[in-house]
Amino acid sequence: MTYRVCFVCTGNICRSPMAEHVFRARVAEAGLAEAVVVDSAGTGGWHEGDPADPRTVDVLEEHGYGSGHSARRFRTSWFPALDLVIALDEGHLRELRRLAPTPQDAAKIRLLRSYDPGAGDRLDVPDPYYGGREGFEECLEMVEAASEGLLAAVRDEVEERTR
């Protein structure tokens, strides 16, 4: 049975596609590509159909990640098919919980940095859109740091399903 993870930010052109590509690479490295599907979306539809922000693409490619992307808006109807919905900041977390049709769906929503023990109480990944390249580099560092803990959690879930 496939395990499905969706990363969610505001417009689906900066943070969530970055998280999607980094986590997809971690899943592949762990040999779980056949068991785990990774994608992303935004809470708003302003950029639907657009590629990722060029700064996101540059940072991803310079660090050896893929970057192909087409922005889309998160749909409430996706909840039943998803196992984990990963919000990039508290605002996304609140919006996703508001959209969740059931308590079981709301329980699927987590903050990405909650998987990074080094994050402390700073669980938001700041939006780099209105800043310079350094914000995109910082975003990548945060995403990479959280991806290891997220991978461990997803691996445990996948293994539990196969028992």
- Active-site residue among 6, 9, 14, 139? 9
- Active-site residue among 50, 58, 83, 127? 127
Strand 109-111 and strand 84-87: the pairing is parallel
Contacts of 77 (CB under 8 A, 6+ apart): none
**9 classed as catalytic:** yes
- Active-site residue among 15, 26, 110, 113? 15
Planar angle of CA 127, 133, 135, nearest 5 degrees: 30
CB neighbours of residue 121 within 10 Å: 5
Angle, helices 15-29/54-62, rounded to nearest 10 degrees:
20
Return the active site residues: 9, 15, 127
